[in-house]
Structure 1
Amino acid sequence: MIVRHIVSIIAIFSSLILMSGCATQPNAHYDAIVNASEKPSTKTFISIQAALDAAPTINNNKPHRIFIVAGNYYEKLVIAKPNIQLIGADKNTTRIYYDAYAGQQSTDAGATKGQIWGTPGSATLIIRAANIQLRHLTVENTFNFLANDALAHDDPKLIPNSQAVALHLDYGSDRFLARDIRLLGYQDTLYVNSGRSWFDKSFIAGNVDFIFGKGNALFTNSEIKTLGRGKPSSPHAYLVAPSTNINNEYGLTFIDCILTRDQSVPDNSTALGRPWHPSTQFADGRYADPNAIGKAIFINSWMDAHITQDGWHSMAGTAKDGNKIQFQPQDARFFEFNSKGPGATINSNRRQLHKSEVDNYTREKIFGDWRID
């Protein structure tokens, strides 16, 4: 009896050791592990880039799962292979960051002198393939926007073209899933410019047009936080700037989200969004795309008092004759339904969906043949 009791204690103790080890060690089912403190091997890599380089290029719809241990990874990444999954230890402890901005000299291979990143190229992480997933990590652009924003407009030290993207869903991206992640930046944090994407239980922060683009993106149970500025600005910020093509039914859709703010962000200072008509090269010239009739929908979302009473704002663009024109929010597809909180109100400027129309904004209808849990 005593021997049996001792054996049971040993067995329980051994199980606790194994469970403790499992809590800190990546699961054996991962195809690759990024750990800068470990010796490289066929499965372990010291950088995320090295792990991506080693990933297969064959599109067999089998996910390639890369676990990234807690740490700060200063890397500028492009994922051009399908079915990659980047999985961090925790969204607060696994961070991918870089500090490029639109007007900066590009360091891409083959870039010529004077060739800048531009807004799309400034991103810390660029997605150019289908079936990519991000989980439990942070993607951040650490360009010092606030210091630059604080400078006077005529200050010779002011950096022009200071857009600095954290995540860019570029051409080729489709069926993208981000769950339990953080996206951090200021101007243009998230560039959703292609395909279908789903951001679930995530945190996205910025101030100027910090969620923008023409893609079909769904945001659920997420926090959208407006950050401070380097100096006072009116409006203080804009959450979204969709450029959805008129032929596309869905743009930026927010369901069950919360819209929060830094303490420095004033009441009645931040627009839900504005209509972006990007300058585009046509056969008869370069001017604002007339078919970019942006769409943004907020359903069952809580809004703090920083959201303006008018809700939406105009945005400038270049007309065919070269003159600047203002595109008005009422000409875009901007609607709300059942907004709550101190920033929620109903007036002629904040158009509401009819209850019957809300049924068109289910995940199944938004994503079509893409099915994912």
Structure 2
Amino acid sequence: MTQPRSKRLRTRGWVLACLTALVAALGLTPANTPPVAAATARPATVPAAPVGSTATEAPKGEATAAAGRLSPTPHGFASLAGGTTGGAGGEVVTVTDQASLAKYAAADGRYIIRIKGTIDVEPFGSEIEVTSDKTLVGVGTLGEIVHGELHLNPGTRNVIIRNLTIRDSYVEGDWDGKTQDFDGIQMDSVDHVWIDHNRLTHMGDGLLDIRKDSQYVTVSYNRFDHHNKAFGIGWTDNVTTQITIDHNWFNGTKQRNPSADNCAYAHLYNNYLSAQVDDGDPVWSYGNWARGRTEMVIENSYYADVQHPYQADETAELVQRGSILKRTFGRHDARGEAFDPRDFYDYRLDRAAAVPALVKRFSGPQRAIGTQTVLNVPADYPTVQAAVDAVPEGNDGEVTLRIAPGSYREQVRIPASKPHLALRGTGDDRSHTRIVHDTPAEYGGSSGSATVLIAADDVTADNLTFVNDFDEAAHDLDGEQALAMKTTGDRIVFENTAFEGNQDTLMTNSPDLRSLSRVYVHDSSVEGDVDFLYGRATTVFDDCVIKALSRGSSSNNGYITAASTWKENPYGFLITDSRIVSDAPAGTFHLGRPWHPGGEPDAIGQVLIRDTELPAAIKDSPWTDMSGFPWQEARFTEYRNYGPGATVTADRPQMSADEAARHTVTDYLAGPDGWAPHR
């Protein structure tokens, strides 16, 4: 007799209370908490609901953002009881051959394993063992495992498998998979697994087998096609498994779409079953089957040309609501009350009518997955440098370091071998996430002093503050270099960032005098007193606030720029559409001076300050000599500046309108590759 829903919920609550007390008594951590206890409580927050989602059905015509469909965070049951993070916190590696894949997939510890290109597994049908705390992700749409199986042994936990094509271990003539057990993905007695955006096709036995009391599993946005036995769950007498199955496309498959045997909770929604194999089998051609004592809920799915679209054993419970059926026949079972998925997690239902189009577009491998990796600081990596260290040498994908609000007292080094990085503060303001250190240049020069050193190309930083808070007075020093940031890479972008220091706050340089390095600083602030914008890189300060700090002098409080541009480079520093502010007395600050490192005569600084507000602190003769090199031999000009410090004198060269038309942000940054980060 089916127990009334209210009684069952009370019973579950009593079990939860008992298990919670047991957990507390035993001192168990989330990693070893009995899964049943955690599953029966709905989380206080919704982990990884798609972007812009709610717990209700989407209004007619509403489009779900693609970003939500490609979320790097699991949803459903895989998000509960501590969640599924895969290899987060570990090293990122890229593999292109079977030996490397097998090495890292079976290694101890956490790894994010990017699979690039096709890996042909030998011998035919061999298993590749995947151990705990791993993320396997295909790079774009080309990551493939051919003729082989991914296998998770009993006790494996916390695994993510995404964006792969796993194909072609089928043995000719063995349609029922009785000759060889060559599955696509097989797991026994595992917990916390997310299978997402894969294509599984034409394997020797099951495409996906989730077996023997596996728990906390989500299977989403996959394609199962060209096969007999698609997706089986169970092989156990225990009623244990909790599984979410959503937005999958079963196309040209015969059975197990899925077959769910003795699942405690099986939640299926927004799946698309189409073009079922028609071989005249009256029993073993079917869609969804709740077997044994499974409790199954099906919502807003779409069935086309399917025999027995959903069925349940007499011992099972199956609730179906909101689905669309086209040209289906056979069993359409509904029995019992099953469960309410929202007792466990929130989720978004797409309209059933929209499911075919959505699933066709978003299921299977996607170009945007695997090319972009997200590393979280400090959730996954304790320091910013630890996250940088996890990035592979020769990195060829976009890696984002999401840095939570806080003050990180460390020096960060991004070597030239790790390009394509983005550092992003996640606070509400750039001041909320600060990378701070206090090293002067006497300890290793500019590179040793810098709080952050970026030697790689194609690096961006956003919503962050970089600080060198070395205290000269406390060390009885005066005029000591202490860099907040040094760059030598090309195509560097700082957006909504702040740089705080005194002397030499921000150095934008290049690997050598003749190399082109470009830096774009936008909507940011820089403060300092002596030469605090300096170096030989082509650098644009666009819509920035530049604060010239007083040193307490009544005559000379410092220099804003010290450019060392190579003589054949027409573009050095451009400060445009910005504000220079100062707390120094009137007429005590220089706009700049020419820096010739080591007396290099070919370092002839170029600086243009245009369309910028200048404070009264700027001298009437704002350019000055440096180390015996006269400022008149440098390339220092202004154009259309304004404010109390924007007087025009004989010592302030003004650029003509014709020249200014050739000295725009685009001109400075374009280079030979047409780089245009400002557009």
TM-score normalised by the shorter chain: which range applies?
Answer: 0.7 to 0.9
Matched residue SS, 1:64: strand
For residues 270 and 160 of structure 1, the distance between their equivalents in structure 2, rounded to whole angstroms, comes to: 18
- Deviating more after overlay: 232-241 vs 340-349: 232-241
Corresponding residue of 1:347: 649
Q: Would you say 1:67 and 2:410 are equivalent positions?
A: no
CA contact (8 A) 1:102 1:161 kept: no
Q: Would you say 1:137 and 2:448 are equivalent positions?
A: no
For residues 619 and 478 of structure 2, the distance between their equivalents in structure 1, rounded to whole angstroms, comes to: 28
CA contact (8 A) 1:250 1:295 kept: yes
CA contact (8 A) 1:101 1:161 kept: no
Which amino acid is 1:187 matched to? Q
Structure 2 alignment gaps of length 5 or more: 1-52, 57-70, 74-371, 511-516
Corresponding residue of 2:423: 86
Matched residue SS, 1:360: coil
Which amino acid is 2:576 matched to? I
For residues 55 and 525 of structure 2, the distance between their equivalents in structure 1, rounded to whole angstroms, comes to: 39
Q: Would you say 1:159 and 2:477 are equivalent positions?
A: yes
Matched residue SS, 1:308: coil
1:13 CA displacement: 8.4
Corresponding residue of 1:215: 537
Which amino acid is 1:328 matched to? P
CA contact (8 A) 2:555 2:587 kept: no
For residues 187 and 123 of structure 1, the distance between their equivalents in structure 2, rounded to whole angstroms, comes to: 12
1:76 to 1:345, Cα distance in 2 relative to 1, 3 A: same
Q: Would you say 1:95 and 2:434 are equivalent positions?
A: yes
Corresponding residue of 1:243: 564
For residues 127 and 196 of structure 1, the distance between their equivalents in structure 2, rounded to whole angstroms, comes to: 12
Matches within 5 A, 1:1-373: 31-35=374-378, 38=379, 44-60=380-396, 62-80=397-415, 81-89=418-426, 90-103=429-442, 116-145=443-472, 147=473, 158-159=476-477, 162-170=480-488, 173-194=489-510, 195-229=517-551, 231-232=552-553, 234-262=555-583, 265-279=584-598, 288-315=599-626, 317=627, 326-367=628-669, 368=671, 369=673, 370-372=675-677, 373=679
Matched residue SS, 1:356: helix
Matched residue SS, 1:101: coil
For residues 349 and 274 of structure 1, the distance between their equivalents in structure 2, rounded to whole angstroms, comes to: 13
CA contact (8 A) 1:220 1:257 kept: yes
CA contact (8 A) 2:508 2:536 kept: yes
1:85 CA displacement: 0.5
Superposed CA offset, 1:293-333 (max 9, x none): 11110010001101111121111x2xxxxxxxx22211110
Which amino acid is 1:32 matched to? L
TM-score normalised per structure 1 = 0.77
1:158 CA displacement: 3.3
For residues 623 and 419 of structure 2, the distance between their equivalents in structure 1, rounded to whole angstroms, comes to: 37
For residues 141 and 74 of structure 1, the distance between their equivalents in structure 2, rounded to whole angstroms, comes to: 10
1:30 to 1:333, Cα distance in 2 relative to 1, 3 A: same
1:364 CA displacement: 2.6
CA contact (8 A) 1:169 1:193 kept: yes
- Deviating more after overlay: 328-337 vs 359-368: 359-368
For residues 548 and 463 of structure 2, the distance between their equivalents in structure 1, rounded to whole angstroms, comes to: 21
Structure 1 or 2, whichever has the larger Rg, is: 2
1:27 CA displacement: 8.4
CA contact (8 A) 1:30 1:67 kept: no
For residues 139 and 211 of structure 1, the distance between their equivalents in structure 2, rounded to whole angstroms, comes to: 14
Superposed CA offset, 1:187-209 (max 9, x none): 00001112100000000000000
For residues 131 and 141 of structure 1, the distance between their equivalents in structure 2, rounded to whole angstroms, comes to: 24
1:121 to 1:234, Cα distance in 2 relative to 1, 3 A: farther
Corresponding residue of 2:233: none
CA contact (8 A) 1:302 1:341 kept: yes
Matched residue SS, 2:616: coil
Matched residue SS, 2:431: coil
Corresponding residue of 2:269: none
CA contact (8 A) 2:373 2:398 kept: no
Matched residue SS, 1:343: coil
Which amino acid is 2:424 matched to? I
Matched residue SS, 1:268: coil
1:366 CA displacement: 1.4
1:102 CA displacement: 1.2
Corresponding residue of 1:153: none
1:251 to 1:197, Cα distance in 2 relative to 1, 3 A: same
Matched residue SS, 2:661: helix
CA contact (8 A) 1:298 1:337 kept: yes
1:338 CA displacement: 0.2
1:359 CA displacement: 1.3
Aligned residues between the structures = 302
For residues 95 and 34 of structure 1, the distance between their equivalents in structure 2, rounded to whole angstroms, comes to: 12
CA contact (8 A) 1:224 1:259 kept: yes
Matched residue SS, 1:302: coil
Superposed CA offset, 1:122-149 (max 9, x none): 000001110000000000001013x26x
Which amino acid is 1:166 matched to? A
Corresponding residue of 2:11: none
CA contact (8 A) 1:166 1:184 kept: yes
TM-score normalised per structure 2 = 0.43
For residues 342 and 364 of structure 1, the distance between their equivalents in structure 2, rounded to whole angstroms, comes to: 29
1:46 CA displacement: 1.4
Superposed CA offset, 1:13-61 (max 9, x none): 868xxxxxxxxxx9857611102xx4xxxxx11111111111122342x
1:159 to 1:222, Cα distance in 2 relative to 1, 3 A: same
Percent of pairs with identical residues: 35
1:174 CA displacement: 0.3
For residues 125 and 363 of structure 1, the distance between their equivalents in structure 2, rounded to whole angstroms, comes to: 25
